Every structure is written in structure tokens, then in C-alpha cells.
Amino acid sequence: MSSAVERGEPQEVTGHIGAGLVAFIGVTHDDDVAMAVKLADKLWHLRIFPDADGVMNASCAEVGGGVLVVSQFTLYGDARKGRRPSYVAAARPEQAEPLVEAVVTRLREHGAQVGTGRFRTHMEVALVNDGPVTLLLEV
């Protein structure tokens, strides 16, 4: 089982992992490097994988899972009014890209196999959601 992100014509795989986590990362205006590092630590140590007894008690670090990191400004889309979402809460790419890179760097420092998407490109994300866990993490 694997997850990947592709872009462009012809299709180019920019990131790929086996079993692990797919993390869609949204950045807002008041996020900083400390928050990016905290998020990476949280992702790496989050106990959501089954242990030997089948209980969600193991982390990505413990199971040797990879992390596919995909920047996603649309996570900050606000569709409460009208039919067209507003993205004013999303940080500009110039601010967001270094923070997403800080998450990637910290995960690699932990020893994670990390795959990534690419900023400012149209991406196709293929993922396998193996189990009941989809979480919104905020730090």
C-alpha cells in the first residue's frame, strides 16, 4: 500500500511513501517555525497505528512509517458566506513554503522517510486510507 503525489504533463511523481501518514498542511498568517516543528513532532509521535494487540497505540516512529507532506492552502478556505470560498486566512506562498519545509526537515531529523508535493503547482494526490483515522491537528 502506498500514497503518492504527482504533478504536470507528463506525470511526474514528486513524492511517494509506503505505509504511513498523509499530512495535508495548511499555513495561516500567525504560524511560525516553532509551530511547524511542534506539528512535525506531533505527527511523528502520534499514536494512531495498531500495536501487537490491534489497539491504536503505536506511532509512525514505532512502526517505521513514512510521511507524505502536501501543502494545501485550501484548508483555510472559508465558505460560511456565499458559494465561493475565501482564502484570506491562508498565508501567502512566500510565508507558507518555508514553514512546510520546516515540517519536512524536522520529520527527516526524526528519521522519517518523507515524500512531498511541490508548491505552486497543480498536484494529483493518490492515497490509501487504511483504517478509520482522519484527524485535524492544530498546534
Domain layout of the chain by residue ranges: 3-126
Task: Please provide the distance, in angstroms rounded to a whole number, between the alpha carbons at the two ends of the chain.
Answer: 29
Question: What pTM was computed for the model?
Answer: 0.91
The CA distance from 35 to 15, in Å, is 23
Q: What is the pLDDT of residue 10?
A: 67
Residues annotated as part of the active site:
72-74
- 27: cell is 499555513
Least confident range of 5-9, 27-31, 56-60: 5-9
CATH number 3.50.80.10 given to 3-126: yes
Q: Tell me the pLDDT band of 32, cut-offs 50, 70 and 90.
A: very high
Q: What is the pLDDT of residues 95-131, one digit of tens each?
A: 999 999 999 999 999 999 999 988 888 888 888 888 7
Q: Which residue, 44, 19, 33, is CA-closest to 137?
A: 44
